[in-house]
């Protein structure tokens, strides 16, 4: 596809880095010459120095032949206007919009301006953290099928019952209706299908299950399960605002610590059910006075990565809380993994991944593929593909146990109308189903490609 990206900041760079390796022709636009060169010198992209709101600049970038325009400048208004202009060329458009003022007008703006997708990174991050608080055992939660399907990732610890347990015993002995989709062991990603597969300490396991079944499973393997009831947030920025609003809406008692008096006043007015403390969240005595040692969920959401990391390490030492750490820089993910933090939220990476998912689905549609969405997992070592079954074929109407599915491929969920099916051997695929398939070392364009031969 021909893709134009307006805005060469960190998100723009990540988009070019990811999409550039997927055979797209990419052109970037930014008013700052050094930002354009930082991308074009290192990555496979054309660059134009100019204002993306200028239609002449867009024409120079090839808007008449572009399939997708992505506007990720620092200005919400510029992103929206840029997309509105691009619609004149019948181009699909995505705008990043961050200001909470627009949060209730997203549908109106999308309809009136003709923007294909509007993404709010702070709201997306808040939803991600909220899911982690609702499943505190999980180190990561991936969502598919517009949020209807959740894949929960957790670690097998030395005290976990799953250690040295066979895969088949999850259903036969524990009587748990969960499907193990993937296991990361060291640097290897495994799609476990054999009944004799053994779990080991340190494995990172991904499961798909209903909310109730997942909680039952976590309880039975002895690593806790239930949603947090109390949460403490350090930092009162936009993500904190969205997160607190979400937590309060589901009955989680929420406390925010913020050092700026004006921001505290705003949060108190907008979130009357929250407890807002004006003070330095890095002050150890203040944290303990406000009940850090008793809180069940803790989110470090200040504007400094280093501060968030230190706060999280202290919270893990001083409490038994589920700890989430916001990190803006994504260059040091390997180092952060060594710190053994609970869960890390990367707002910029989350924004890029959401946009990339849409770009991939758009590209698949142009290739006449029935892949609706493609999700990269475990740093690209595995993929989850979402297929929509449009017609009868060799995969439909046959019990899954009788389908000759290729090695390293697993059907992990079926969405049928409002029904979510965690598939067993007697389930079958039907026309109209949305099916999520997890795989390694393969490339699929059609649901029929899952079969051998």
pLDDT value of position 146: 67
**Are domains 139-220 and 370-450 of this chain identical in fold?**
yes
Q: Note the helical H segments in 271-424.
A: 284-289, 305-318, 333-338, 347-366
pTM over 0.85: no
Domain locations along the chain:
2-119, 139-220, 230-345, 370-450
What kind of fold does domain 370-450 have according to CATH?
Alpha-Beta Plaits (3.30.70)
**Superfamily, domain 139-220:** Regulator of K+ conductance, C-terminal domain (3.30.70.1450)
Phi first, then psi, for residue 247 (nearest 5°) are -65, -40
Q: For 270-286, what is the mean pLDDT?
A: 96
Count of alpha carbons within 13 Å of 258, Cβ hemisphere only?
24
pLDDT value of position 365: 60
Pick the range with the lowest mean pLDDT from 135-144, 331-340, 434-443.
331-340
pLDDT tens digits along 81-94:
999 999 888 889 99
Q: For 162-182, what is the mean pLDDT?
A: 88
Q: What is the mean pLDDT of the chain?
A: 88
Phi first, then psi, for residue 331 (nearest 5°) are -75, -20
Percent pLDDT > 70 in the chain is 95
pLDDT value of position 437: 92
- CATH (residue range 2-119): 3.40.50.720
Tokens of 108: 């109106």
pLDDT value of position 331: 63
Give the alpha-carbon dihedral of 410, 378, 122, 75, to 10 degrees: -110
Q: Is 13 helix (H, G, I), strand (E, B) or coil?
A: helix
pLDDT value of position 165: 87
Task: Identify the CATH class of 230-345.
Answer: alpha beta
């Amino acid at each position: 596809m021909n893709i134009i990206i307006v805005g060469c900041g960190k998100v723009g760079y990540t988009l070019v880095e990811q999409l550039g390796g997927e055979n797209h022709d990419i052109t970037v636009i930014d008013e700052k010459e050094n930002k354009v060169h930082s991308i074009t010198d290192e990555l496979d992209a054309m660059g134009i120095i100019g204002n993306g709101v200028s239609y002449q600049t867009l024409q120079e970038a090839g808007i008449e032949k572009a399939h997708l325009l992505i506007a990720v400048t620092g200005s919400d208004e510029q992103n929206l206007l840029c997309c509105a202009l691009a619609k004149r060329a019948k181009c699909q458009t995505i705008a990043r919009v961050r200001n909470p003022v627009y949060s209730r007008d997203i549908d109106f703006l999308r309809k009136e301006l003709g923007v294909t997708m509007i993404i709010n990174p702070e709201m997306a991050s808040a939803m991600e953290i909220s899911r982690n608080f609702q499943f505190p055992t999980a180190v990561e939660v991936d969502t598919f099928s517009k949020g209807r399907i959740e894949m929960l990732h957790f670690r097998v610890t030395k005290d976990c019952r799953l250690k040295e347990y066979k895969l088949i015993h999850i259903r036969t002995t524990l009587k748990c209706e969960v499907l193990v989709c993937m296991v990361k062991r060291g640097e290897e990603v495994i799609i476990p299908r054999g009944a004799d597969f053994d779990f080991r300490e340190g494995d990172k396991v991904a499961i798909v299950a209903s909310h109730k079944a997942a909680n039952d499973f976590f309880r039975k393997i002895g690593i806790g399960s239930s949603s947090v009831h109390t949460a403490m947030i350090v930092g009162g920025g936009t993500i904190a605002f969205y997160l607190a609003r979400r937590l309060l809406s589901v009955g989680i008692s929420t406390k925010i610590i913020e050092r700026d008096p004006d921001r505290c006043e705003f949060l108190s007015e907008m979130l009357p059910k929250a407890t807002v403390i004006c003070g330095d969240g890095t002050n150890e005595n203040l944290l303990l006075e406000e009940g850090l040692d008793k809180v069940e969920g803790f989110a470090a959401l200040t504007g400094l990565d280093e501060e968030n990391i230190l706060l999280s390490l202290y919270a893990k030492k001083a409490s038994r809380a589920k700890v989430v750490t916001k990190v803006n820089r994504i260059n040091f993910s390997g180092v952060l993994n060594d710190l053994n933090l609970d869960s890390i939220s990367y707002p910029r990476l989350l924004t890029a991944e959401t946009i990339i998912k849409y770009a991939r689905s758009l590209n698949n549609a142009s290739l006449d593929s029935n892949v609706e969405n493609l999700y990269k997992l475990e740093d690209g070592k595995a993929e989850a593909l979402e297929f929509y079954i449009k017609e009868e074929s060799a995969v439909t109407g046959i019990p899954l146990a009788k389908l000759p599915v290729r090695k390293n491929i697993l059907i992990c969920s079926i969405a049928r109308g409002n029904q979510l099916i965690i598939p067993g051997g007697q389930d079958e695929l039907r026309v109209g189903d949305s099916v999520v398939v997890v795989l390694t070392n393969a490339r699929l364009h059609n649901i029929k490609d899952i079969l051998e031969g």
